[in-house]
Chain A
Amino acid sequence: AQKVTQAQTEISVVEKEDVTLDCVYETRDTTYYLFWYKQPPSGELVFLIRRNSFDEQNEISGRYSWNFQKSTSSFNFTITASQVVDSAVYFCALYNFNKFYFGSGTKLNVKP
């Protein structure tokens, strides 16, 4: 079965702190894609990153970085030097068998 687990329901940090959002996935298939989306209060999903199952190279984009480890079925997301504008709900998703499977989301509160 396909499943995405985001164990952290809500995280609160103070601005400039680093924060890591955890994502663990389950799938039987060897070919799949992993995504992270940001959902601000407005509700619109904002695409952040996509990785395919054959590319375990970590990625950095500005203050954002992602750590993909197939050995632990994890695809964690780190925000360095967090800002108030990072406050949102973040979803990790698995794309497999022509469907998206979303995690339950982690609400990030960044306080000034």
Chain B
Amino acid sequence: GAVVSQHPSWVICKSGTSVKIECRSLDFQATTMFWYRQFPKQSLMLMATSNEGSKATYEQGVEKDKFLINHASLTLSTLTVTSAHPEDSSFYICSARDRGAANYEQYFGPGTRLTVT
């Protein structure tokens, strides 16, 4: 089956620093990847959609200058949280859509837990 990995699985950073989270499709090409944020005991909220080779599309209310998304290859998308603050602490999950698959066929990564101190 299709596998999506995320790195790191958890990270602790100090307030004001930046942190990069990687999302990789291991056995398929993903033209589109999605980034979600999940606060404790809450649902997943779509932050942005990234297409390989083009700019990401951000959901309303998500600061694109704070959450930088790069989708430079068909197997890798990165989310960089710039100048992180404690309120950015959350569980970040990516998903990827196989190049030849239907739109709804997305595979979710295991998530990255970010703690900003």
Tell me the A residues contacting B by CB distance below 8 Å: 33, 37, 42-45, 47, 50, 91, 95, 98-100, 102-105, 107
3 closest A-B pairs by beta carbon, nearest first, are A44-B110, A43-B111, A45-B108
Instruction: List A contacts of B45 (CB < 8 A).
Output: 102
Number of interface residues of B (CB under 8 A): 18
Tell me the B residues contacting A by CB distance below 8 Å: 34, 41-46, 91, 93, 95, 103-104, 106, 108-111, 113
Contact A43 B46 (CB under 8 A): no
Contact A105 B43 (CB under 8 A): yes
Give how many A-B residue pairs fall within 8 Å (CB-CB).
Answer: 38
CB distance from B1 to the nearest CB of A (A): 9
Instruction: List A contacts of B46 (CB < 8 A).
Output: 99-100
Contact A102 B43 (CB under 8 A): yes
Chain A interface helix/strand/loop/mixed: strand
Instruction: List A contacts of B109 (CB < 8 A).
Output: 44
Contact A43 B42 (CB under 8 A): no
Closest to A92 in B: B43
Question: Which listed residue (A33, A42, A47, A102) contacts B44, Cβ 8 A?
Answer: A102
CB distance from A45 to the nearest CB of B (A): 4
Interface pairs (28), CB distance under 8 Å: A33-B104, A42-B110, A43-B93, A43-B111, A44-B109, A44-B111, A45-B93, A45-B108, A45-B111, A50-B104, A91-B44, A95-B104, A98-B103, A99-B46, A100-B34, A100-B44, A100-B95, A100-B106, A102-B43, A102-B44, A102-B45, A103-B43, A104-B42, A104-B43, A105-B41, A105-B42, A105-B43, A107-B41
